[in-house]
């Protein structure tokens, strides 16, 4: 199996009260995840509020995480930008700072022009210039752009494009991409509400914000599918779905950060214009975590070993 | 397991050259399906061009099929109309003609008004008046309306609403509906391109146009999932997906009827404004059937036992 | 100017308490409109709940209205059905019952198949068979289908297709259809919230539910645009927009019927699954009508002469 | 009338063959526009490929244009970023470099979270911090986000928010925003295909890529509407619509730059992943310009005085 196959969590980016980067809090989160069975970490993804960081902050995030991580644990870094040249520059900076691979979201501002052909050229130019492996990253809910399966099939032939993260929940599209790419092309699921289904479709793992809270459960769900224990896997997915929704589409980064705070990680406020979750939302998330036995308590501080 | 759980095919409606109903051809198709392992048949569904038939034709279709079918084999009849009163009237006619249950698509013309609350009242009124069990039927691709999971959960409490056909491919929605309804509420998948995934999500079977061509394969796929043989099930789904697409979203009823003709069933032309598949499309479908070993030949007339 | 150019209102269909057609109430409404400056009336449109009526009821509505109307006043009848043959049959019945022209909405159930080419064939077949002039009718909000401007341009060449009602608010599309059809091809606006703009784009009038309440204002707005008094026209449009929204997209037929009741016409309940407007909605509509001086009072029963 | 009312063109950003900024070409374009009747210029808009420029390039573009422009001619600068802090920083840089006002597009990456309330806070924070007036900028086709009319109405009360550019073609929305804001709140149209209609709705001018090619015609169309000459205005709009489409939604920046080259301005290639218009598209655009008499010729070099 490819060395990048597995379960990852995207790292949230903690900010200090003055709105600046809190690298100490970031390090503490990373240390906890390193004690979990997660395959590796994703830095500067959407959940890391990458579009809200400037280039200098982005570099500090990458170097902070790298400093914590042993070499055997893959660190994937998000480097997608609107222009090909800026994407290449960000990819080079990430590689210099120790990225094991880069995750390149589709450019998306000029949506109507983002045809398959144009996106293929973009990815080939980036992959040619990159000194580390490239993973495609399709996240239609944020970009309004979809990388067609035809293009994925052609890009998978590039020696430096090793896989893809598909954040959507369109299982037919995921299955199509898998059917049309070689067995060693890695497909990582990005939607925790359809994680079971993406695994049944043949995904090699996932990049899940849910794994920031429930790393063990996310790893276990994959093992259940591999063992053909579909009923048990479905039961576990069903338990995880409400909190997956809260920290995904429904409340986004604010939901994730509130859940991290409740579960004993460093979450904090997202950067404006994003706003912290309201107290009503925090209460809902608290109950969802309680249902799963995942609240941090003074007596029993949360480890990364979740109990479900 | 509920008596309506299982694999069904919707029946296409054959027309004679003058555009009138061809009940002889319909009977011959039914006879073939009765020799297959299919659980039962769906009459007057979308693939049966129900919106194109008048009430008198609809009744002839139902009575023709009933006449062919033994009592143990369920016949489900589509009776959804735009008004509650017309739906109730169609439901009563279907029950009189021998329907074992009715499949009631959401009304949809006044889309913006079709709220969950209003749809729930509609279904309750229909289920109260019906003398046979009612299955909800959500088919957003045709109606532009989605029955919310909240409403499905509440409607499942009605003693005469026994299940649902969900024709969409939104697996998260299907999983949600299953999670929120009792174990004996039947959920039938309607999208053949995501059939595997709907089964993994917990569906009790399906109503699949694909089963008009590959009844054995559709039954086998369900058995593979039940046995936890996900890799094999995924391989079978992958083989079936191209033809599933052709006779589903891509070419619709025209694609299904062309495939039926090629596979030795009675297909023919759809009713205008629908048009027969072009010769280019027919060639594509022929190759897809060839790849699956499913073409009718003079030497070896198609039986309903497909070879995959 | 073409004899069908002008301002029309679609007629709501009043029902008795037992849910049956109330032809007496319908006649009384028609009598009032005949005293207004409206060009003519549209029977069996969306606002007439045509999809909720059976064929026998539809014929009674047409004959009831015809009986009230003098020959010089055009009566347009909606006859669109899902199949070409049913549309032709309904068109013939309408013509026999005295329709001056028919308004044929696009078929729409099999949305993905409703290409321009297929819709053109449908309309040509209907127009060939019709003994009265045909108007195209595009109403995407209800059908999910859009008749392309290319198709409108080609259909306008048919001698028996004399115009179009476009119910959408996409002004660029309306302008495009007008630019590409001959000057004597009638374009009628169907969206009251963009009525001013549709007139500025070159529409020859409109079919407006708003004209059921404010026939004089609708006629005056058209005269203002014709006179180049854009500022005054904009002011009038602005006054009318809130109530136009209430009886259009926001509350639909239920909103229109509530407003009719308040303004002294026969409205009543829509047919289920549609539900009457809630008391909250009725209060909003009452205030909107009050703002425009259009409430019926015992002392001063509403005439059709509105005061704005 | 407010000093920012009027007709603007967004400036395209010319690049040299090596992909770097070509400030000389930019200056030459500006000089030509200064001889036209345009009110002012917009720098770093979508058509200026602002998302493709880095901060240093952005500052050079602003300072280059400022150096060419006399004080009386407004220069509006696009400064929208994803985070509030980055937007404020860009706004301050633009003000220092001589912007007369800034045009702030909605943040958009986290679409589902971009509620009216959150966007209002963002704009208030930016307007509080800005030393020059702020114009809201809604461009749904690129952002997938719509600033609600309710929010526009409330933001218009802020003393430093003086107007809005609405790039969409939803005339009902534009009319609604105008109806709910004070008379001195400037509304600028951004869609050239619905320019006439936006003016009829009450817009105070526009920011139109079309005005890069036809400044005189864009100014004249506004005068025609002001004079109530709707038929003539409609005729002019109709002539301009095909080229407006080519350089707008259909071919985007690549179409605009091809047209600029043909009309005697400096266009050139857009920055990758955007690609230059294909020769087929260039031929279409050439014919559209020929039809309008707007091609540059050796004998008669293009002035900014277009002939329609």
Given pLDDT bands bounded at 50, 70 and 90, which one contains residue B115?
very high
| Contact: D272, A83; criterion CB under 8 Å | yes
* Position A307 pLDDT exceeds 80: no
Task: Select the more confidently predicted residue: C155 or A1.
Answer: C155
- Residue B301's pLDDT is what? 41
- Residue A302's pLDDT is what? 47
| Contact: A253, D125; criterion CB under 8 Å | no
* Position C297 pLDDT exceeds 80: no
Q: What residues does B41 pair with on adjacent strands?
A: B9, B75
CB-nearest to A252 from D46, D112, D272 is: D112
Cα A220 to Cα A28: distance, rounded to the nearest angstrom = 24
Torsion, Cα of A217, A220, A225, A227 (10° steps) = -160
Omega cis (within 30) before A273: yes
In a domain, D87, yes or no: yes
* Sequential DSSP letters for C191-205: -GGGHHHHHHTT--E
Chain A CA closest to residue B198: A197
- Average pLDDT of span C106-115: 96
Parallel/antiparallel/unpaired status of strands A186-189 and A205-207: parallel
pLDDT tens sequence across D50-83? 999 999 999 999 999 999 999 889 999 999 999 9
CB-nearest to D83 from A46, A52, A83 is: A52
Nearest to A144 by CA among B225, D145, D170, C67: D145
What residues of chain A lie within 8 A of the CB of B179, using their CB? 238, 241
Q: Are C174 and D241 in contact (CB under 8 A)?
A: no
In a domain, C279, yes or no: no
| Contact: D272, A119; criterion CB under 8 Å | no
CB-nearest to D194 from C171, C191, C238 is: C171
Cα B277 to Cα B256: distance, rounded to the nearest angstrom = 9
Work out the number of other CB atoms within 10 angstroms of the CB of residue B141.
Answer: 18
Chain B CA closest to residue A194: B172
* Position C295 pLDDT exceeds 70: no
pLDDT tens sequence across B221-264? 999 999 999 999 999 999 999 999 999 888 999 999 999 999 99
Cα B9 to Cα B206: distance, rounded to the nearest angstrom = 8
Mean model confidence pLDDT for chain A: 94
Nearest CA-CA distance, residue A229 and chain B, Å: 6
* Position D299 pLDDT exceeds 50: no
| Contact: A142, D111; criterion CB under 8 Å | yes
What residues of chain A lie within 8 A of the CB of D118, using their CB? 273-275
Residues of B at the A interface, defined by Cβ within 8 angstroms:
169-172, 175-176, 179, 191, 193-194, 196-197, 200-202, 225, 227-230, 234, 237-238, 241
- Average pLDDT of span B152-166: 98
Nearest to A113 by CA among D284, D251, D271: D251
Chains B and A touch (3+ CB pairs under 8 A): yes
Q: What residues does D289 pair with on adjacent strands?
A: none
Work out the number of other CB atoms within 10 angstroms of the CB of residue B157.
Answer: 11
- Which of C173, C190, C228, C242 should we substitute to test contact with D (largest number of D Cβ atoms within 10 Å)? C228
CB-nearest to D110 from A83, A86, A142 is: A142
Chain D CA closest to residue C229: D228
Chains C and B touch (3+ CB pairs under 8 A): yes
Q: Are A116 and A150 in contact (CB under 8 A)?
A: yes
| Contact: D179, C241; criterion CB under 8 Å | yes
pLDDT tens sequence across A68-113? 999 889 999 999 999 999 999 999 999 999 999 999 999 999 999 9
pLDDT tens sequence across D100-113? 999 999 999 999 99
In a domain, C23, yes or no: yes
| Burial (0-12, 13-18, 19+ Cβ within 10 Å), C106 | buried
Work out the number of other CB atoms within 10 angstroms of the CB of residue B227.
Answer: 12
* Position C271 pLDDT exceeds 60: yes
| Contact: B110, C253; criterion CB under 8 Å | yes
In a domain, A298, yes or no: no
Work out the number of other CB atoms within 10 angstroms of the CB of residue B242.
Answer: 18
> CATH number, domain at B203?
3.20.20.70
- Residue A308's pLDDT is what? 67
Query: How far does Cα D170 stand from its chain's mean position?
Result: 17
- Residue A300's pLDDT is what? 41
Given pLDDT bands bounded at 50, 70 and 90, which one contains residue C300?
very low
Using DSSP's 3-state secondary structure scheme, residue B103 falls into: strand
Cα D106 to Cα D46: distance, rounded to the nearest angstrom = 12
Give residue for tokens 């939302």: A281
- Percent of chain C whose pLDDT exceeds 70: 95
Chain B CA closest to residue A192: B172
- Residue A111's pLDDT is what? 95
Nearest CA-CA distance, residue A248 and chain B, Å: 13
- Residue A249's pLDDT is what? 80
What residues of chain D lie within 8 A of the CB of C225, using their CB? 230
| Contact: A234, B172; criterion CB under 8 Å | no
| Contact: B52, C121; criterion CB under 8 Å | no
Task: Count how many domains chain B has.
Answer: 1
Nearest CA-CA distance, residue C75 and chain B, Å: 24
Q: Are A205 and A198 in contact (CB under 8 A)?
A: no
pLDDT tens sequence across C45-77? 999 999 999 999 999 999 999 999 998 899 999
Taking CA D214 as the corner, what is the angle to CA D209 and CA D218, rounded to the nearest 5 degrees? 80
What residues of chain C lie within 8 A of the CB of D176, using their CB? 241
Chain B CA closest to residue C118: B273
Beta-sheet strands, E only, within chain A: 6-10, 40-43, 75-78, 101-105, 134-138, 161-166, 186-189, 205-207
Q: Are B7 and B222 in contact (CB under 8 A)?
A: yes
What residues of chain A lie within 8 A of the CB of B234, using their CB? 175, 200-202
Residue D142: phi and psi, rounded to 5, are -100, -30
Nearest CA-CA distance, residue A221 and chain B, Å: 13
pLDDT tens sequence across D13-46? 999 999 999 999 999 999 999 999 999 999 999 9
In a domain, D167, yes or no: yes
Given pLDDT bands bounded at 50, 70 and 90, which one contains residue A296?
low
Cα D5 to Cα D28: distance, rounded to the nearest angstrom = 25
Give residue for tokens 């509530």: C258
Chains that touch D (3 or more CB pairs under 8 A): A, C
pTM of structure: 0.95
What residues of chain D lie within 8 A of the CB of C229, using their CB? 228
Residue A35: domain span:
6-229
In a domain, D277, yes or no: no
| Contact: C194, D200; criterion CB under 8 Å | no
- Residue C72's pLDDT is what? 87
Query: Could you give the angle at which helices D279-291 and D252-262 cross, rounded to 10 degrees?
Result: 60
In a domain, B274, yes or no: no
Using DSSP's 3-state secondary structure scheme, residue B187 falls into: strand
CB-nearest to D249 from A112, A252, A271 is: A112
- Residue B15's pLDDT is what? 98
What residues of chain D lie within 8 A of the CB of A155, using their CB? none
Chains that touch C (3 or more CB pairs under 8 A): B, D
* Position D300 pLDDT exceeds 50: no
- Among A111-115, A228-232, D294-298, where is mean pLDDT lowest? D294-298
Residue A164: phi and psi, rounded to 5, are -155, 140
pLDDT tens sequence across C220-248? 999 999 999 999 999 999 999 999 999 98
Cα B95 to Cα B76: distance, rounded to the nearest angstrom = 10
What residues of chain B lie within 8 A of the CB of A225, using their CB? 230
| Contact: D85, A118; criterion CB under 8 Å | no
What residues of chain B lie within 8 A of the CB of C51, using their CB? 82-83, 109-110
Given pLDDT bands bounded at 50, 70 and 90, which one contains residue D307?
low
Extract the tokens encoding C302: 């509403």
pLDDT tens sequence across B7-20? 999 999 999 999 99
- Report the greatest alpha carbon distance in chain A: 57
- Average pLDDT of span A194-199: 98
- Residue A258's pLDDT is what? 97
Mean model confidence pLDDT for chain B: 94
- Residue C114's pLDDT is what? 97
| Contact: D121, A252; criterion CB under 8 Å | no
| Contact: A271, D85; criterion CB under 8 Å | yes
Torsion, Cα of D34, D37, D40, D45 (10° steps) = -90
Omega cis (within 30) before C273: yes
Q: Dihedral of CA A147/A148/A152/A154: which sign?
A: negative
Given pLDDT bands bounded at 50, 70 and 90, which one contains residue D278?
very high
Q: Are A61 and A26 in contact (CB under 8 A)?
A: yes
Catalytic annotation, pick one of B32, B111, B165, B257: B165
Annotate A175-213 with b (16+ C-beta within 10 A) or e (fewer): bbbbbebeeebbbbbbbbbbbbbbbbbbbbbbbbbbbbb
* Distances, alpha carbon C119 to alpha carbons A173, B48, C112, C125, C151, in Å: 30, 21, 12, 10, 8
In a domain, C244, yes or no: no
Based on the residue annotation, tell me whether A165 is a catalytic residue of this protein. Answer: yes
């Amino acid at each position: 199996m490819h060395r990048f196959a597995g379960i990852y969590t995207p790292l949230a980016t903690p900010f200090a009260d003055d709105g600046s980067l809190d690298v100490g809090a970031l390090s503490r989160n990373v240390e906890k995840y390193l004690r979990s069975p997660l395959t590796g970490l994703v830095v500067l993804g959407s959940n890391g509020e990458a579009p809200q960081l400037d280039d200098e902050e982005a570099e500090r995030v990458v170097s902070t995480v790298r400093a914590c991580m042993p070499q055997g644990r893959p660190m994937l870094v998000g480097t997608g930008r609107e222009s090909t040249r800026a994407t290449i520059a960000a990819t080079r900076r990430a590689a210099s700072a120790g990225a094991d691979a880069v995750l390149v979201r589709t450019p998306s501002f000029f949506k109507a022009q983002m045809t398959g052909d144009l996106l293929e050229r973009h990815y080939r130019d980036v992959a040619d210039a990159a000194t580390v492996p490239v993973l495609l990253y399709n996240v239609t809910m944020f970009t309004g752009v979809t990388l067609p399966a035809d293009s994925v099939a052609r890009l998978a032939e590039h020696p430096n494009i090793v896989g893809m993260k598909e954040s959507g929940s369109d299982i037919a599209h995921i299955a199509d991409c898998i059917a049309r790419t070689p067995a060693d092309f890695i497909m990582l699921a990005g939607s925790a509400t359809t994680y079971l289904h993406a695994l049944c479709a043949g995904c090699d793992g996932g990049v899940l914000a849910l794994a920031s809270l429930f790393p063990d459960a996310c790893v276990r769900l994959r093992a259940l599918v591999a063992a053909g224990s579909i009923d048990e896997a479905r039961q576990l997915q069903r338990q995880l779905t409400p909190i997956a929704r809260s920290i995904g589409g429904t409340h986004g980064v604010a939901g994730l950060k509130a859940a991290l705070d409740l579960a004993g990680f460093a979450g904090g406020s997202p950067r404006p214009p994003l706003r912290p979750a309201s107290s009503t939302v925090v209460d809902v998330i608290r109950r969802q975590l309680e249902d799963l036995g995942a609240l941090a308590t003074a007596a029993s501080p949360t480890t990364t070993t979740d109990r479900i």
